[in-house]
Amino acid sequence: MEGPLPTESRIWPRRYEEVYERSMRDPEGFWAEQAKRLDWFKTWDRVLEWDPPYARWFVGGRINASHNALDRHVATWRKNKAAIIWEGEPGDEKVITYYRLYREVNRFASVLKDLGVRKGDRVAIYLPMIPELPVAMLACARIGAVHTVVFSGFSSTALADRINDSRAKVLVTADGGYRRGKVVPLKRIADEAVDRAPSIETVVVVRRTGSEVSMQEGRDYWWHDLMEGARDYVEPEPVESTHPLFILYTSGTTGKPKGIVHGTGGYLVGVESTMRWVFDVRDEDIFWTAADVGWITGHSYIVYGPLVTGATTVMYEGAPDYPSPDRWWSIVERQGVTVLYTSPTAIRMFMRYGEEWPKRHDLSSLRLLGTVGEPINPEAWRWYYRVIGGERCPIVDTWWQTETGANMIAPCPGISLVPLKPGSATLPLPGVEADVVDEGGNPVPPGVRGYLVIKRPWPSMLLGVYRDPVRYREVYWSKFPGWYYTGDYAMRDEDGYFWLLGRADEVLKVSGHRIGTMELESALVSHEAVAEAAVVGKPHPVKGETPVAFVVLREGFSPGPELRDSIREFIRGEISPLYVPSEVHFVQRLPKTRSGKIMRRVLRAVVSGEEVGDLTTLEDEASVEEVKKAYEEFKALYEGGE
């Protein structure tokens, strides 16, 4: 290995333990202290109302996210500081100061108001990674509207489902976005979605690519036209601390994605605190979260976290390896990036391209690296540490979820850096009571796998699942009543460090993106040829895992490469290219229990080449042989292939 890892703290070594201990002894006092770092129009009456499974933080307090991200900085020297450094994929650049961002947000807030958007109304945002995306989010926040950002790689069906669930009345989109030098026709996709989403009254279209789009009279308006008549100032709405700031959809174990609802005060306290503790944010930082704003990582650490702390945030529109595999390293060098936060998948991809690409650039501006989204394998960790961080930068491996809103288990160099261990997210952040327990809720001994739970509420905890209280209760609070169930396996070591061991439920992490196997299965069975489907994850060297589908065909359809392609295309169109199954296997029947449940465990074992294990509950043994045979045939055909 490359010598000792950075372990010295900036302050003093026992500081983390002291802060953590204090947070456990007096959580409300501790969180109230953090909350004071934000601007409140009215201070809260009570720090926490905990009526399990609902937590209300800073009750009685009034606050506005856009005010905290903009107005309070514009009143200081930060007025002329770069808020956003943006790079488009084709190479265009924009540096937007806090003052400019403030103006744009105010103006778009007035546009939304004039379109009839009121406090509590939902606005769907389907934009590429362009500055109008954070502008639209902050404009919603300014007037108390609830944004729901839909990742621009999602298909029209996925977009329509999210609009319909949230009943958004305005959709903000663009004529297109750039991806690998091509234009993604976002407006066309949005039009298909809006055809099936009757709640949408108005579509606002940003001109990004200049491509031809159709505009529907009375429904569709150009962003720049509306902005022409906009007002320069809109009073920020002082919303209740518990007022929803956004809904973000994420996959779970059913066929339908869940709308995770985040509040305002608690959420902002979570992202503000972690910006300080985990990223040790400083005014001179050029902070780059290389993720998409369409995911929680982007919400919390491209938009709200950096802006609320007055940092400079970098936004890059396009593919990481376009036009060449050193695109990111060129951005780090040219923009002087100091903090880089990304996913293990991206790191593994760059590892494959080889060291020569980062070596072409001066990366000495970097001082801290971060990862998120899936467990990082020690090999990738070491490469990141050595090649990107020059053996100089600590790596913060941050465990958290869409639901948690902010980092939960991670090193905190902003307090004091504990010794790092490649592959471990280290210890829970202050205020976070995490544990690893067995089926009966008993803490497991070191080295034993169990379920990761959080034993008390934290400020950036989800408010609920949009319009689905039953699901909220069942998914997160029924397995261990009173504790938040994460859906993850974990293990602690002798030092108490947490090692995350992947999902314990039927959820895959494909390139760090979450997708429920049921969601893919219900899409698959809506293909005309598919009668039944089962999806499992297969380990993949770069993506972590990929979906593999087993399908039973309807009468009259016969297996073959064309049908396989058509099924894969279908997922691309129904959900997203991200989740296209890497393999589709045709079988006569699926292995099921006597009660009819698909035994995914068996399929998982087959695709990862493991022992199938206990089959006593299996209904029909021949099904396993058949699955194995289909898989063997596939391997013989594609050996050395994907």
CB of 491 to ligand WT7, least distance (A): 12
CB of 344 to ligand WT7, least distance (A): 8
CB of 151 to ligand WT7, least distance (A): 11
Instruction: Find, among 324, 333, 391, 320, the residue nearest to 362 by Cα.
Output: 333
* Beta carbon nearer to ligand WT7, 377 or 522: 377
Helix (H, G, I), strand (E, B) or coil at 3: coil
Task: State the amino acid at position 445 in one-letter form.
Answer: P
Q: Are 593 and 175 in contact (CB under 8 A)?
A: no
* Beta carbon nearer to ligand WT7, 48 or 393: 393
CB of 428 to ligand WT7, least distance (A): 13
* Beta carbon nearer to ligand WT7, 268 or 296: 296
Task: State how far the Cα of 387 lies from the Cα of 224, in Å rounded to an integer.
Answer: 43
* Beta carbon nearer to ligand WT7, 103 or 299: 299
Task: State the amino acid at position 400 in one-letter form.
Answer: W
Task: State how far the Cα of 421 lies from the Cα of 64, in Å rounded to an integer.
Answer: 39
CB of 374 to ligand WT7, least distance (A): 5
CB of 424 to ligand WT7, least distance (A): 9
Q: Are 256 and 73 in contact (CB under 8 A)?
A: no
Q: Are 518 and 254 in contact (CB under 8 A)?
A: yes
Instruction: Find, among 304, 340, 312, the residue nearest to 149 by Cα.
Output: 304
* Beta carbon nearer to ligand WT7, 209 or 398: 398
Applying CB under 6 A, the residues found at the interface with ligand WT7 are: 250, 296-297, 372-375, 397-402, 425, 486-488, 500, 503, 509, 514
DSSP secondary structure, 337-403, as one string: --EEEE-HHHHHHHHHH-THHHHTS--TT--EEEEESSPPPHHHHHHIIIIITTTTS-EEEEB--TT
CB of 396 to ligand WT7, least distance (A): 9
CB of 508 to ligand WT7, least distance (A): 10
Structure tokens at 499: 């090692």
* Beta carbon nearer to ligand WT7, 151 or 631: 151
Task: State the amino acid at position 611 in one-letter form.
Answer: E
Q: Are 498 and 399 in contact (CB under 8 A)?
A: yes
* Beta carbon nearer to ligand WT7, 63 or 453: 453
* Beta carbon nearer to ligand WT7, 102 or 341: 341
The residue ranges of DSSP E strands in 193-300, in sequence order, are 202-206, 220-222, 239-240, 246-250, 258-262, 286-289
CA angle 487, 423, 268 (to 5 degrees): 60
